[in-house]
Structure 1
Amino acid sequence: MEKEDEFLHSFFTYISQICFEKAKELIEREKDLHKSPLNAAWYSFLNFLQQLALSEKSYIEIGFLQTKNKGFLRKDNSLRAIYESMKIDIRKLEENFKVNNKRVQNYCQNIYQFLSAKINLIELYEKIYQMGIGKHSRYLELLNFTENIIQKNALCFTDICLTPVKAVFNLECEILQQLFKALTELQRLQFLPSLVLIHGAHTRLNAWEGRIQKESWKLGFLKNNPSPALLQWLLKLKGIVLSKFSLYFHNTLAQQTTPNDMRNICVKLQHDHYQKMVSFQKKHDAAYVILLSDNQVLYDTTDYDSFPIIVSYPPKCPPHLETIMRMISENVSDLVIVDKIVHKYSSQEQRTYVITTVEPNIYLVIIFESKKFEKEAFIENFISEICINLRCTKVFTNLKYNIK
């Protein structure tokens, strides 16, 4: 490996390991060796790498969605704009090396591709955030966007010097792909595909964490070197998806262990949705709290006795299933509205039915054996919390608002 190759491979290894101080020191040492005017082009290239390291540090801390001081006649200084500007700069550097150093020219071409790929990912995270604001569950749209990024960049920045960042880029894309795919399979109530995909995301997250070298690059030595913000967010997203899986397939999972063990497993999850259903039912004297699907969902279960109930507390099948399905059919125009809660009181049955759409074809239903008034806070708060977490909208918007 040539000296320049070794230097660049070390630089991109440090970047992939989130060791930005070591990357900075490496560049400073290299700059000290090339202060001569004869090395002006290489010196400019080193300055560019310094900017790249700063940009990558901002990226891994989710700096790409933070609010910037942009206004009339003010330059856009968002991370996305910085990457775009750097693409222009690296093209100029590439021209400088075209005659004298074909190897460095090739580095420039690969770095240009790398910058384009990072912009693609920023566009994806912007899309995720916007979907969270809109409270919609179009996971297939996010999955298609992610897979397009993977396909578009499969043969890009493949130079051996960029191998470390290429590996991390692939892991990041595959984690998102696995989780969005799992969410689409959960909407279809597919047990085994969802489980395999969540495990796939878990394995890749572990692989990425294993690449990170502990370095005191975070502010303060008392913080015990926490993982970078982007990795923390991806871990949180996986936890949300796993919590959703545990609710949608609670009955299936409960058959594999004892009730006590099942409770102990669920309490360790990011959200124990089932226990929240149980607590609400007991505290507010609801007859039933039910998650169910209409008949448009494809099932992978032969347990037709519980069809189309996903999970219910109390666990026995409620006797009002036909009434519920009729109410869903009659109120379909209201139920397609995000966060719309339909209240129906049956004077004949002396029951109140509260229905909302969690995501397409999946509904949350609460039944009371008495009359309940609309807009009762304890009902609305419970429904809001469980829907936000099952749709993943809170974790999507946390990309911007809850990053320290």
Structure 2
Amino acid sequence: MRQWVSFEDLVMMCEEIMKENIKKFHHPLLGPIRTVFSYECESLCHLMQAQILMSMWSYLSCVMQLHEAHTKLNSWAAMIPSKEVKSAFGARSTKTQIFPPLHSWLTKFKAILLSKFGLYFYDVLAKQTMPSLLKANLSKTSEDFVGKIHTFQKKSDAQCIYLVLESQGLNSQVKEGGYHHPKKYMEKPQGMETYPPIFAYPVDRIVNPAHWPNIVMMMNSSAHQGDKLKVFYDKASDKRPQTSYFIIRVDPHIWLVSIFDSKKSEKDSTINSFMTDMALQLRCHTVLASLKSFSKS
């Protein structure tokens, strides 16, 4: 597994690059280049800010950053001239836009963030639309994470899959993803409530609080072990059979947990592949790694 990416540091670097260089386009003929440079930096900063806010489970602020990035990318796209492409066999030529590699990559970055947004704020979105419509919209995203979880749950016979928020250290209110009036008083969560499940699958199954002591124990014991997948087995009791827990941190404050009502091998390839692949994608490591291929374009 790769090391963590500090998006906070990247935002600071991007803002510094823009601040230092934007004033160098002083000649009027450089106006279009200055505008494109501004769109490049601003859209990237907004996307990285959205990633940071998403990892803190801050719904409304994240929406605003995604919207700003979308607006900047559209404004940049409007400046790209269309080129005439001749079809084969004497057919009519058509006009098409050929986007710069950086614009294409930023669009890809935005797409993965929208996919991630649909997973992290699934419950918030579900309250605003019909379940069938939400499912249809999520299936159109570049990575249907909810669909992937559904497939994994059926294939592995997992009892449940959770995304758990570690709210300690977060300044914003965490209930409802911070989607409430900032002046509305809300009591700070205490005890186990500081580790709320922000997503649970199957979505129609009641969250089992009996698992939470084990989940919290694993989160705390794995806090200093980087991004490795951890496995824990709980002995059978009168209340439940032997349970297997697989847990991995996918963001600084968010953990992915898969629970099974039987003893699963810690080397189970299906479980390991799902957990590690989900972690890489949710951390945006996969899309960042794709920069290498775009740089060669």
TM-score bracket, normalised by the shorter chain, equals 0.7 to 0.9
Aligned residues of 2:167 and 2:194 also touching (Cα < 8 A): no
For residue 122 of structure 2, the aligned residue among 250, 258, 272 is: 250
The question of 1:372 aligning with 2:264 is answered yes
Distance across 1 between alignment mates of 2:114 and 2:175: 23
Measure how far apart 1:174 and its partner are: 0.4
Taking a change above 3 Å as real, the CA distance of residues 271 and 192 of structure 1, as seen in their structure-2 partners, is same
> What is residue 175 of structure 2 aligned with on the other side?
302
Equivalences for residues 69-218 of structure 1 within 5 A: 134-215=2-83
Measure how far apart 1:367 and its partner are: 0.2
Distance across 1 between alignment mates of 2:165 and 2:233: 21
Aligned residues of 1:293 and 1:361 also touching (Cα < 8 A): yes
> What is residue 185 of structure 2 aligned with on the other side?
none
Measure how far apart 1:318 and its partner are: 2.4
The question of 1:321 aligning with 2:207 is answered no
Higher mean C-alpha displacement, 354-363 vs 325-334: 325-334
Aligned residues of 1:189 and 1:297 also touching (Cα < 8 A): no
Which amino acid in 1 is paired with 2:249? T
Aligned residues of 2:84 and 2:95 also touching (Cα < 8 A): no
Taking a change above 3 Å as real, the CA distance of residues 222 and 318 of structure 1, as seen in their structure-2 partners, is farther
- Report the TM-score, using the length of structure 1 for normalisation: 0.62
Q: Aligned with 1:363: secondary structure?
A: strand
Equivalences for residues 245-394 of structure 1 within 5 A: 245-298=117-170, 299-302=172-175, 308-315=196-203, 316-319=206-209, 320-334=211-225, 336=226, 338=227, 340-348=228-236, 349-394=241-286
- Post-superposition Cα deviations, 1:355-399, rounded to whole Å, max 9, x if no partner, equal 111121211100000000012110111112211111111111111
Distance across 1 between alignment mates of 2:94 and 2:288: 29
Distance across 1 between alignment mates of 2:95 and 2:287: 23
Aligned residues of 1:306 and 1:317 also touching (Cα < 8 A): no
Q: Aligned with 1:153: secondary structure?
A: helix
Q: Aligned with 1:357: secondary structure?
A: strand
Distance across 2 between alignment mates of 1:154 and 1:329: 45
Distance across 1 between alignment mates of 2:71 and 2:97: 22
Distance across 2 between alignment mates of 1:235 and 1:295: 30
> What is residue 103 of structure 2 aligned with on the other side?
231
Measure how far apart 1:294 and its partner are: 1.7
- More strand, by proportion: 2
Aligned residues of 2:167 and 2:174 also touching (Cα < 8 A): no
- Report the TM-score, using the length of structure 2 for normalisation: 0.83
Measure how far apart 1:214 and its partner are: 1.5
Aligned residues of 1:343 and 1:353 also touching (Cα < 8 A): yes
For residue 241 of structure 1, the aligned residue among 110, 113, 119 is: 113
Taking a change above 3 Å as real, the CA distance of residues 395 and 322 of structure 1, as seen in their structure-2 partners, is same
* Root-mean-square deviation (Å): 2.4
Where in structure 1 do 4 or more consecutive aligned residues deviate above 6 Å?
220-223
Extract unaligned runs of 5+ from structure 2.
Answer: 177-188
How many residues align? The count is 268
Q: Aligned with 1:333: secondary structure?
A: coil
Extract unaligned runs of 5+ from structure 1.
Answer: 1-132
Distance across 2 between alignment mates of 1:276 and 1:223: 37
Measure how far apart 1:314 and its partner are: 2.0
Percent pairwise identity: 33
Measure how far apart 1:136 and its partner are: 1.7
Structure with higher Rg: it is 1
Which amino acid in 2 is paired with 1:229? P
